[in-house]
Chains A and B, each alone.
Chain A
Amino acid sequence: MNTFPGRAGRGVVGHAAYRVRVIQAYFVVHVRDQMAYLGEVALGGIILTVFLFVLTQLWQVTFRFQGADTLGGYTLAQVIWYLVLTEAFVTSRVAFARKIDSDVRTGDLAYALVRPGGYVSAHFGAYLAERMVRFAFALMVGGVFALLSVGPVSVGPVPVLVGLLASLVAILLDFVMVLGIGLGAFWIEDTSSIYLIYTRVSMILGGLLIPIDLFPDTVGAIARALPFAAMIHGPARLVLSPGLGEVPRLFAMLGGSLALAGGVVWWEYGVARRRVTVQGG
């Protein structure tokens, strides 16, 4: 007789609350796990500082060469703070597609799927923990660098908060996309090349190094039509902008992309689950 039953018989709301508790539990454990890798996180901070230093030099030369105080509406200080925000988003990325890819190929996925709590919840909790720790650390390191190199810029509290909220939605969208890439291992031998293309395209068309407002018109129009700009350029631009005029468009783009990517990955996950086979026997 099971003397220790779980709280069975939950409804839809109860089930959703249970999933949130599971994600929270994975989140807490993985934040602690990250603390075991503080050295690695600190090393990432050093690399980020070097990147920012080089980019700052390049932008200083560009501004000097152009002889202008602003480029595309950005001052030099704003560009550097923009870079801090976009670099924080990109460098905090967690390459968990590799883990899913490995789970699929080694058959570990099958073991993970039957664990209570759910495979996606487990990955999401772990991803969120790792990403938040890295994101916060990158913002801190980048912020100190920007303060020391170009000084503060004037920003309003509301754009900052809304920008951070947009970043959170973008992080969720990134999770869904990377999950979709990792699950691709059911159909292709190795998904690392797809992940590489995804990250590189999103860096270029997302406005990692150059604000999209400075892109040539045609390229800028293409970039704006894709979700990458909403993930990387959008939140950074929002934090630095005086008003909230861009907010509806930005959230519509993020929400629409999330719904579309979520639908595709939901379908892909369903097909993948049915395809699960394990070697051995």
Chain B
Amino acid sequence: MATGVRNEIAVALVGLTRTFKRPDISLPLRGLGRLWSRRPMVEAVALHPTTFQVNAGESVAFIGPNGAGKSTTIKILTGILHPTAGMATVLGHVPWLEHGRLSREIATVFGQKSQLWYHLPARDSFTLLTRIHDLDADLARRRAGALCDRFGLEGLLDRPVRTLSLGERMRCEVAASLLHSPRILFLDEPTIGLDVIARQELRSIIRELNQRDGVTVFLTSHDAGDVERVCDRAIVIHTGRVAFDGTIETLRRDFVRRKTISLDLSSPFAGELPVMPGVVPTQLTPLRLQFQVDTTVVPAETVLAGLIGRMQIADLTITDPPMEDVIAAIYGQASSASEAVP
């Protein structure tokens, strides 16, 4: 089934907010008062009013540092948490009011929470999930067979889950979550703890689900590879606010205003380099020069104009920073913001 992003709203949030009350630990309780006194409660904000929309068929990375509000958002969208204010719909359902109906149309995969029975073969968990989702047994059997072929689960389903490797288990987890043909797949750190090969396999499976079957993917991950290889769009959240919403390309290009200019020279360069603010040489060899350019200080074109003509250039490349750096920058901004708060 060839698919793409459809003009149909899969997830919509309007001013979604979540606060919670916690004891005020800044007030010390002394003496016998500790035995019966209660600390006054203070309100903390887990999610500031947040608004965004995801269309059906999109593959969205929802990223941010720990404590940014992304897990809170996913928990609200899957019906686990009630918001304090605002509204959200997932496939037209209000998650916290209609999670029964919603659960038939969405699937959740939490990297650290298994839905398979540890001591039983995964096939038994599949049978149980078939009953829980109240699926027609014949259709479910065919569906399980198709998933088994697609995810390469042949030979794994009859082994107790405890004997599977983490990568094999995660493939079974994702397959199990797809038994009821969900329209949206929420993934929370699906590749955590997996080795490189298992990560790649799982990413390509998720990518294929989105591209081939049109399943809307909503992924949170700290892994840059997950974000790059699985998603087309990124929503960055930190300190409970949406800090960026755009394509992965734009995120890489614009979130970190830094480019790397590499020059391969056809003859050794022995002259003097111009000194420009915002330009830091990172590699200086006779036949190769590399500079990191802060584009908020100086445009890349200006740097190039200053270099061309001074040397004989055989090849020139301008690259955006790697996704790891982008995510590190996002997290760095969050931590400096939190440090700035008294």
Tell me the A residues contacting B by CB distance below 8 Å: 1-8, 18, 21-22, 24-26, 28-29, 32-33, 36-37, 108, 110-111, 113-117, 276-278, 280-281
Contact = CB atoms under 8 A, between A and B. Distances in A.
Contacts of B75: 110, 278, 280-281
Contact of B72 (A6, A22, A25, A281): A281
Contact of A108 (B47, B113, B119, B160): B113
A6 B47 contact: no
Contacts of B307: none
Nearest to B75: A278
Contact of A281 (B70, B117, B131, B132): B70
Interface in B290-336: none
Contacts of B72: 280-281
Nearest to A30: B117
A204 to B, nearest CB: 32
Interface string B48-69: 0000000000000000000111
Interface in B112-158: 113, 115, 117, 119-120, 124-125, 127-128, 131-136, 139-140, 143
Contacts of A115: 103, 115, 132
Contact of B128 (A2, A29, A108, A114): A29
Interface string B85-125: 00000000000000111011100001001010101100011
Contact of B124 (A5, A32, A110, A117): A32
A6 B134 contact: yes
B180 interface: yes
28 contacts: A1-B183, A2-B105, A2-B183, A4-B135, A4-B143, A4-B181, A6-B135, A6-B180, A7-B134, A8-B101, A22-B131, A25-B127, A25-B132, A29-B124, A32-B120, A36-B120, A111-B80, A113-B80, A114-B78, A114-B99, A116-B104, A117-B131, A278-B81, A280-B71, A281-B18, A281-B47, A281-B72, A281-B73
Contact of A22 (B20, B127, B132): B132
A280 B240 CA distance: 12
A78 to B, nearest CB: 40
B182 interface: yes
A24 B99 CA distance: 23
Contact of B133 (A3, A6, A111, A276): A6
A277 B103 contact: no
A18 B134 contact: yes
Looking at A3, A29, A114, the one whose CB has the most chain B CB atoms below 10 A away is A114
A111 B113 contact: yes
B71 A281 contact: yes
Contacts of B227: none
A8 B103 CA distance: 12
A108 B80 CA distance: 10
B263 interface: no
The 3 A-B pairs with the shortest beta carbon distances in the complex, nearest first, are A281-B72, A25-B131, A4-B181
Looking at B117, B125, B134, B135, the one whose CB has the most chain A CB atoms below 10 A away is B134
Contacts of A6: 104, 133-135, 180
Contacts of B139: 4
Contacts of A26: 128
Given A25-B131, A116-B132, A4 B117 contact: no
Contacts of A280: 71-72, 75
Given A2-B181, A116-B133, A280-B72, 9 more contacts: A2-B104, A2-B182, A36-B119, A110-B81, A111-B80, A115-B103, A115-B132, A281-B18, A281-B67
